[in-house]
Every structure is written in structure tokens, then in C-alpha cells.
Amino acid sequence: MRLQTLLGWVLTLILPSFLWATAYNEMEVVNLQGTIMVQHPNNLPPTALMTGSTVEKGDILTCYDQSWVILKTHSGARIGLDGVSGPTVVSIDEFYLEGPDRQIRLILQKGSVYFKTNGYGSRQSFFEINSGSVVTSINDTQACLAYDPQQSLLTVQHFTGDLTVIDKDHEEKFKYAHSERHWKNGAMAEKEALPMDDLDWINYHKFFDGEPRVAPRDNNFTLHD
């Protein structure tokens, strides 16, 4: 009886640490709508993502028009690819989670990506999004990035949390919640952050809730003769 009790205490103390130290190298698809294709690095034909399927390092995801997908890491962070305003293409350049370490690097080739992430304190941890020559570093963050490679234009919408953008000239840490900045040709386009429309915050939540988003107010007009 004493031996069973001792073993029980040992498992209680050791098992959570063992599980926390488990390494993960994939993200799960938790919700999607429309057509999202994934190209694996094995040169096989692209396949369509489905709820419950996984993606990992080396995969290239293409979210087509009027489509969207939400990915979840084992730590609970959520990453959303949005094709409502046009196709979004993201390459998973690095993905590794183990214990307190998080090493994620995404290459946003074009389109829009939403982030709802949690924080990591390890010195080895990083979560980066490369968009052309600009790198966005996030930690515990709620944000949206949109990149147009034809115009070499990156738009960063920062709702809350820790977010820094590194361009060819300097590092810009977002200081104010619900603010927006633009990078053109690898350089920051304006000196001061711009306030965001409340509608962007509403649509951010609607995206992760899988609900239809509200059209911009500029589109809500009536044509008269």
C-alpha cells in the first residue's frame, strides 16, 4: 500500500514535467472555410486542408479567395490565414515547441494573417514573420499583418501585447494598443502610429469566432439617381 502511494506521488510530480518537455513540430487545423491547399516539401501534389489535419515545418499554405483557416499550436496560440480580400500564401520556415522553448518562423509571401498568441520566456524562443525585407517579432500578442509584394507594402495592425517590427533602418516596438503602421519598400512609411478603426477590432474577434465579418463603413452607402 505504501509502495502504491509512493508511486502515485512520483507520477504526480514527474508526469506533468515529462509532458511539458515533449517536443511538438506541427499545428492543427481547428476551423476553416473554403479552399486551403498545402504543399508538403516531398514534392507530392498539393492537398486540401481539412479540420483536424496538421501542418508542419516546410509546408506552404495557400488560402484562396473567400477562404480562411485557423491553426492552433500545442501551446494554445492561434494563427489565422485570411483569403477574403485575396489569396494568402504562407511558408512554415521553422516550427518547434518544447518545454519553455518556442521557435516559429513564418514567411508571409502575400495576403493577411491574424495572430492570437501567448508568451514564452525562454532565451531560445522566437516567433517571427518575414514579409519581404521586414521581420515582425511577436510574443503575447493580438495582431494582424497584411503584405502586398507587388507594392512592397506591409500593414501591421496591433491590438494588444508585445510586438516589434525590424526593418532595414531600425526596430520599432508598438507602444500603443489598437494602432496601425505601414512599411513601404522595407522602411516605415509614417513617423507616428495611426489609430485603428473600432470595426477592425470587431472583425478580429469575428474572424476567430468563425463569424461573417462586418463590411467597412465606406462600403455602406446608397446610390441615388
14 in any annotated domain: no
19 in any annotated domain: no
4 in any annotated domain: no
Total count of domains within the chain: 1
111 in any annotated domain: yes
DSSP string for the chain:
-HHHHHHHHHHHHHHHHHHHT-EE-EEEEEEEES-EEEE-TT-PPPEE--TT-EEETT-EEEE-TT-EEEEE-TTS-EEEEE-TTS-EEEEEEEEEEETTEEEEEEEEEEEEEEEE------TT-EEEEEETTEEEEEEEEEEEEEEETTTTEEEEEEEEEEEEEE-SS-EEE--SSSEEEEEETTEES-SSPEEPPHHHHHHHHHHHHTPPPPPPGGG------
Q: Specify the pTM.
A: 0.85
| Domain containing residue 206: CATH number | 2.60.120.1440
Instruction: Give the pLDDT confidence score for residue 17 in this predicted structure.
Output: 43
219 in any annotated domain: no
Instruction: Give the pLDDT confidence score for residue 184 in this predicted structure.
Output: 97
Structural domain including 113 reads 24-211
Instruction: Give the pLDDT confidence score for residue 21 in this predicted structure.
Output: 55
Which residues of the chain, if any, have pLDDT below 70? 1-21, 218-225
Instruction: Give the pLDDT confidence score for residue 218 in this predicted structure.
Output: 61
Instruction: Give the pLDDT confidence score for residue 156 in this predicted structure.
Output: 98
b/e map 112-134, b = 16+ CB within 10 Å:
bbbbbbeebeeeeebbbbbbbeb
Instruction: Give the pLDDT confidence score for residue 19 in this predicted structure.
Output: 44
8 in any annotated domain: no
Instruction: Give the pLDDT confidence score for residue 221 in this predicted structure.
Output: 37
Residue 179 CB neighbours (<10 A): 17
Determine how β-strand 36-39 pairs with β-strand 47-48.
antiparallel
129 in any annotated domain: yes
218 in any annotated domain: no
